[in-house]
Amino acid sequence: MKRIILGLGSNKSFNGKSCLELLNDACHDLTTLLKNVIVSSVYRTKAMYVTDQDDFYNMALLGYVTEDYNPFFLLEQIHEIEEKYGRNREKEIRFGPRSLDIDIEIFGDEVINTPDLQIPHIRFEERAFVLIPMLELLEKCSDDLLKEKCEKCLMVLKEKGETSDIKKIVSSSNFIFSKGGKYGTNG
């Protein structure tokens, strides 16, 4: 089995659903694609790159697929989930507000560099909002090399002061990824 780590984010409601509800429903949908899914806590973070927008709610999800699972097929399925929850790539501003963003951070040990897909994700090392929830999940795994790499990247970001605006708002133990799931509000 290949381990997959996804980063999820939302900062815009859609169809009457809050950002937390959108993340919840997306996690539920992702359980149909991945096996043995675990999720991180949800963190509220300041927007990066385009800063004049609402804060994001970010988290990570870890799951497994069979050895022959195609990463491009997963990307296609992710785009369908994003679209289902209001993302319209043709109308959005790059790095701007979005109801749902799902990135493939890690796909087993694969390295892919195409215009449509880069694995490992090309910016995960510079994003504390990815590294913090990802490390939370890696604490439950035995991949010391990836964990060490993420810890080093996060240390660099901490030294630059780029982690102070990240606040845990929902603990993973309070995050129920089922349709209509409810959430705790403290972590």
| Residues marked as catalytic | 87, 98, 101, 103
Q: H-helix or E-strand containing 35?
A: strand 35-39
Give SS3 for 172.
helix
Structure tokens at 143: 């991949």
Nearest CA-CA partner of 136 in 28, 5, 46: 5
Q: H-helix or E-strand containing 156?
A: helix 144-159
How many whole angstroms separate alpha carbon 45 and alpha carbon 60?
13
- The conformation of residue 64, written as its DSSP 8-state character, comes to E
- The conformation of residue 157, written as its DSSP 8-state character, comes to H
